[in-house]
Structure 1
Amino acid sequence: MRHTTCCPRPWWTLRMLEALDLAAKLSKARYTAQKSRLQRRLHRLQRACWEGKLATVVLFEGWDAAGKGTAIAKLTQRLEPRGYSLHATRRPRTSESHMPWLWRFWCKLPNWGEIGIFDRSWYGRVLVERVEGLADKRRLEQDYDDIVCFERTLADDRYLIVKFFLHISKDEQEQRFRKLEEDQSSSWRVEPEDWERHAKYDEYHAAIEQMLAQTEGEWAPWTLVEATDRRWARIKIFETMIRAMEEGLVRFGCEVPAEEPETETDDADATGAGPGSTTTRAD
């Protein structure tokens, strides 16, 4: 049985990425105050999900140099290290290429009560392989069906699915590449393949729009992150994670830990606008 997209409109009419405000920023003082509070909250929710036997799968997708790795480092900074796993997705190994394509991801799913974080994920199948001409239309449609079925199966079995896409402009990506290349300690991070993908930015942009539209579902929604300003992006990621875990605990009948009382720093910070006030999601 085919599981088609939940999107009622053709994907090419949605233009989700274009709706983002890439100029969104957050001051350093406001970021520092919010980060500490959100880290504490996330730690408490991690404990609650452990006790409630809820697994959380977190996917980080986005442009090269958009800040995925740093965002993951900040997100996990205060988490209980025994309760989460991190997987950097690369090309399938020879042994993996002889198995059903989602097999290697099934093997890395977290146990109930744990968090599994993927730095890139199964979505490379419908991005890189599409743009590089490695998949025809028929196989691409099957891949989308596989992904939707996979995520729905997990969501029905006490898994919370949180999907992020970190978005930056083509000009911003070029600036970041050049800055990395100018520093001898980071120049190794930019490879010829990165520039080749950069040259195909518009093609990837179209593929990403289709991916977002065809894999959006209430059980696995996308959160689009304006990643020009790294502080803004990190706070938005924290807030989204916290909201998803709180909603998941409620949905599965688990106890949600009480909010901590706000400190004077938190009270002062609350007077300013932040990502929580202008969250942009794919839904």
Structure 2
Amino acid sequence: MLMEVKKSLKLMSYYFKFNISSAMEYRVSFLIQSIGMIINNSAFIFFWWILFNNVNTIGGYGFKDVMMLWALSSTSFGMCFVVFGNINQITRMILNGELDTYLLQPKDPLINIICSKTIVSAWGDTLYGIILFFFIKGINIKIFLLFLLFCITGAIMFSSVLITIHSLSFYTGNTEGLAQLVTEFLISFSIYPEGIFKGGIKYILYTIIPAGFMVYIPAKVFNDFNISRIFAVLAAALIWMCIAYMMFYKGLKKYESGNLILNKL
């Protein structure tokens, strides 16, 4: 098991370096997309700043608390698509029978698939979140390392949820629309104060849509350090990762060979 984890991490490292090299071949495009995303996201700071000039708190959150939610969600989202840039292509590859190439290689098929591409604009999301964190907390290495840990767990949960949804394509057909909807839900629920959500919605935020473990609990840790909360976040990330792997590989048993020539005939 440990050997398989090492192999997967090595493969991820290889793809990460390759994807960076590919992106750097078009430096101007890379910078434009990244900076453009940072500017686009920064516009929301102005919106929240105006809002909090008229009210003291929203759902128990102040201005810096909301900005921490944005920092965590933006960096987690960015990391997900920087490292796992091909994740939204899973459904298309299943339906078009394009998994064969990956299945024939002596590597973990799932890691091989999702890491084979990076989304350039996601670098802007990642940098935006990191810059925003330093704006809120200043330069503190220990706190920043904790922030990175939460962003990594957030990226794992974000990607795991998407893998789980896309894996439903093995059973139900095209789930791209559902995956897009879930992505929007994850982002939307992660950038607003937890206190504005009541009843059943709050329950959903800690189960079906794990925004609670992605941003709400981590944000609380920065205000009131609690080791049990950190372990809860780590456990949630591990559980979602296991769910994603289980859904993908169980679904893979239903996958039919994607010989496109034969299918057209």
Tell me the TM-score normalized by structure 1: 0.23
Whose helix proportion is higher, 1 or 2?
2
